Amino acid sequence: QVQLQESGPGLVKPSETLSLTCNVSGGSISTFHWTWIRQPPGKGLEWIGYIYYSGSTNYNPSLKSRVTISVDTSKNQFSLNLNSVTAADTAVYYCARLDNSGWNYFEYWGQGTLVTVSS
Amino acid sequence: DIQMTQSPSSLSASVGDRVTITCRASQYISTYLNWYQQKPGKAPKFLIYAASTLQSGVPSRFSGSGSGTDFTLTISSLEPEDYATYFCQQSYSAPYTFGQGTKLEIK
């Protein structure tokens, strides 16, 4: 059973960079797309972007100028960097695996980690 | 971006009731429509893909239908564990977008 676990600081100062890592266990990171999704408190879900194990990426245009997703296949993990954060970036951040059947659903999810942007 | 609109935003129902949630896309998405269930403090759980195909292990009381722009999620007979928030998600084109959610509450 594939398991994902997010890690990183729970508090980030405004204008700084939010950095999170997702560790994948129970399966190889290879041959799948890996994604980040966020959910502001009490609100809906926003897709941030995904990375293929080979390194190719696709970002949400609303965040594209501030987002970088990278992958480390040797460690079976992938990461999110979001720069120039504001209070609007406060959210629970989830990592997830995109299915590889072509239907593009988020099949496995991490438990999520709350990141608060505040000075 | 493709906008996804769910209705209703919230719904009260009793155990045993039949419940239907609607999801509408702002443009054609064929059957690239997925459904998730989220309970408080938990990550969403994937339920249905391709509008009507149940993920393995999802109870058969859940069903999905629709194509094009209009979709429904139906729970044929509510169980206590079904009280949650449900989200639809289009996977026709990136950026992938979600509906705002439908909160299903106990009546």
Taking only the tens of pLDDT, chain A with its 119 residues reads 999 999 999 999 999 999 999 999 999 998 899 999 999 999 999 999 999 999 999 999 999 999 999 999 999 999 999 999 999 999 999 999 999 889 999 999 999 999 999 99
Mean pLDDT (whole number) for B82-105: 97
Q: How far apart are CA A5 and CA B32, in angstroms?
A: 27
Q: Is the pLDDT of residue B15 over 90?
A: yes
- Tell whether A52 is within 8 A of chain B (Cβ): no
Chain A: residue whose CA lies nearest to B42? A111
Q: How far apart are CA A74 and CA B25, in angstroms?
A: 40
Q: Is the pLDDT of residue B26 over 90?
A: yes
Give me the residues paired with residue B52 across strands. Answer: none
**CA atoms within a 13 Å half-sphere pointing along the CA-CB vector of A95:** 28
Taking an 8 Å cut-off on Cβ atoms, the answer to whether A104 and B50 are in contact is: no
Q: Is the pLDDT of residue B32 over 90?
A: yes
pLDDT tens figures, B53-89 = 999 999 999 999 999 999 999 999 999 999 999 999 9
Q: How far apart are CA B7 and CA B24, in angstroms?
A: 8
- Tell whether A29 is within 8 A of chain B (Cβ): no
Taking an 8 Å cut-off on Cβ atoms, the answer to whether B89 and A105 are in contact is: yes
d(CA A93, nearest CA chain B) in Å: 10
pLDDT on residue A100: 84
Give me the residues paired with residue A94 across strands. Answer: A37
Chain A: residue whose CA lies nearest to B99? A44
Count CB-CB contacts under 10 A for residue B14.
Answer: 9
pLDDT on residue A77: 97
Sort out which chain B residues have CB atoms less than 8 A from A100's CB and list them.
Answer: none
pLDDT on residue B107: 87
- Tell whether B32 is within 8 A of chain A (Cβ): yes
pLDDT on residue A74: 94
pLDDT tens figures, B41-54 = 999 999 999 999 99
CA dihedral of B71, B103, B35, A104, whole degrees rounded to 10 = 110
